[in-house]
């Protein structure tokens, strides 16, 4: 009996629940837990499935003892963490204490410092190994599928990968003047931080959005893509042998960036608490409260996403270039699971990673990023579960 605890009840969690219900032969029972139980109950009502027993629970995952208590009550084999990355470590601690496997989609980030990196979670490797438990880190799309793509490219097309450029384009339009496609707090912290990329064994830091490239994305069109730091750069620089440079680019419209600049200029993106009417509030958290809820954007979003990786390397002594990517349609996603493509492209890979773990295909004691597993079964599942991939053996190379 495969019982799974899903922590989170936002847009990504809704996709995970929907896709688990589509794979009832693997996911026999699921419990949806979040700080706001009514959100969990809404998901249960939306995706009630005759072959899967769905229960819900209220959970403040900021405290390990709360997570431990719920795990002991429910008895899952695996915890899928799709809530806030601030809670990664408390949930990992709870999994260790209760003997349960762990999977997340984003690496740990302290609340007080906009700096996400894997060192905190990698430090758990020996603990999970000794406990005989598997922890799968960053199993969304980017990070996640981009790591699987890299492992697949190395396994099948390269003896050595030298350069990787990860390209993330969202050609969707939700009609709002300004809104973020996933958690506004995480999204804005990520974009407003300094950029960073790996080159020749060192990290090169840039100013926020300092480096821009134009790229013509298949079915999305020409877009301005800006260099950001993204967590998979850290794990791929470590796990892909011979890599000399790896960069991450994401597209933003001029309208989006103009709004973001104004919000930054007036202090609304700050994480430093200020006093307001006798209470301390964080401006970014207030901004999050007034912006549109990303989980409710699906019904009004049209267009497509295009996310993938361009590889340059060597095979049998020859220089090879290879582009591997996915195109996802916002409206198609909404018709299937009631969510837009940003949530879909994160939630589907999380379900796939969980499925492979429960099937015994992706299970080994320790803490691992997705590129450290065999990519082939994951790539097969992407085609089956709604995220088919496309290959291009003569891509345009970014300077």
> What are the domain boundaries of the chain?
145-339
Under 8 Å between Cβ of 214 and 223: yes
Residue 160: other Cβ atoms inside 10 A: 14
**Cα–Cα distance measured from residue 75 to residue 141, given in angstroms and rounded to the nearest whole number:** 28
- Please give the Cα distance from 173 to 104 (Å, whole number): 28
Q: pTM to 2 decimals?
A: 0.92
Helix axis angle, 341-358 to 145-156, nearest 10° = 60
Task: Give Cα 64 distance to the centre of its chain.
Answer: 22
Which residue is listed with tokens 């980017």?
142
Taking the CA atoms of residue 118, residue 121, residue 124 and residue 126 in that order, the dihedral angle to the nearest 10 degrees is -30
276-288 as b/e: b if 16+ CB within 10 A? eeeeeebbbeebb
Q: Which CATH class is domain 145-339?
A: alpha beta
- 254 contacts 267 by C-beta, under 8 angstroms: no
Q: pLDDT per position in the chain (399 positions), as tens? A: 899 999 999 999 999 999 999 999 999 999 999 999 999 999 999 998 888 999 999 999 999 999 999 999 999 999 999 998 999 999 999 999 999 999 999 999 887 666 778 999 999 999 999 999 999 999 999 999 999 999 999 999 999 999 999 999 999 888 777 877 667 777 777 788 899 999 999 999 999 999 999 999 999 999 999 999 999 999 999 999 889 999 999 998 888 888 888 888 888 888 888 998 888 988 888 888 888 887 777 788 899 999 999 999 999 999 999 999 999 999 999 999 999 999 999 999 999 999 999 999 999 999 999 999 999 999 999 999 999 999 999 999 998
Give the span between the Cα atoms of 341 and 336, in whole angstroms.
Answer: 11
């Amino acid at each position: 009996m495969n019982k799974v605890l899903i922590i989170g009840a936002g847009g990504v969690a809704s996709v995970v629940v929907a896709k688990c219900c589509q794979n009832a032969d693997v996911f026999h029972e699921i419990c949806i837990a979040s700080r706001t139980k009514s959100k969990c109950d809404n998901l249960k009502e939306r995706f009630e499935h005759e072959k899967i027993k769905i229960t819900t629970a209220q959970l403040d995952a900021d405290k390990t003892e709360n997570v431990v208590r719920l795990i002991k009550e429910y008895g899952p084999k695996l915890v899928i963490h799709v809530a806030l990355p601030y809670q990664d470590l408390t949930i990992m601690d709870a999994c260790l204490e209760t003997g349960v496997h762990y999977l997340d989609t984003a690496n740990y980030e302290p609340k007080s410092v906009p700096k996400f990196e894997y060192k905190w979670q990698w430090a758990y490797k020996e603990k999970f190994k000794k406990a005989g438990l598997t922890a799968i880190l960053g199993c969304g799309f980017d990070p996640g599928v981009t790591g699987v793509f890299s492992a697949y490219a190395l396994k099948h097309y390269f003896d050595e990968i030298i350069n990787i450029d990860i390209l993330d384009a969202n050609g969707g339009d939700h009609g709002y003047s300004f809104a973020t496609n996933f958690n506004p707090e995480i999204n804005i912290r990520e974009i407003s931080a300094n950029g960073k990329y790996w080159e020749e064994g060192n990290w090169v830091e840039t100013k926020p959005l300092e480096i821009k490239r134009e790229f013509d994305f298949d079915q999305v069109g020409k877009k301005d893509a800006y260099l950001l730091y993204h967590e998979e750069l850290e794990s791929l620089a470590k796990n892909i042998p011979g890599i000399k440079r790896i960069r991450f680019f994401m597209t933003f419209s001029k309208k989006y960036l103009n709004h973001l600049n104004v919000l930054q200029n007036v202090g609304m993106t700050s994480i430093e608490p200020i006093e307001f009417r006798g209470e301390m509030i964080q401006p970014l958290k207030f901004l999050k409260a007034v912006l549109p809820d990303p989980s409710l954007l699906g019904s009004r979003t049209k267009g497509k996403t295009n996310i993938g990786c361009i590889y340059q390397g060597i095979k049998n002594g020859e220089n090879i270039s290879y582009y591997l990517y996915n195109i996802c349609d916002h409206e198609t996603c909404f018709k299937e699971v009631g969510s837009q493509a940003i949530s879909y492209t994160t939630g589907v890979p999380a379900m796939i990673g969980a499925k492979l773990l429960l099937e015994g295909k992706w299970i080994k004691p320790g803490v691992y990023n997705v590129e450290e597993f065999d990519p082939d079964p994951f790539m097969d599942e992407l085609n089956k579960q709604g995220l088919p991939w496309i290959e291009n053996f003569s891509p345009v190379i970014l300077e």
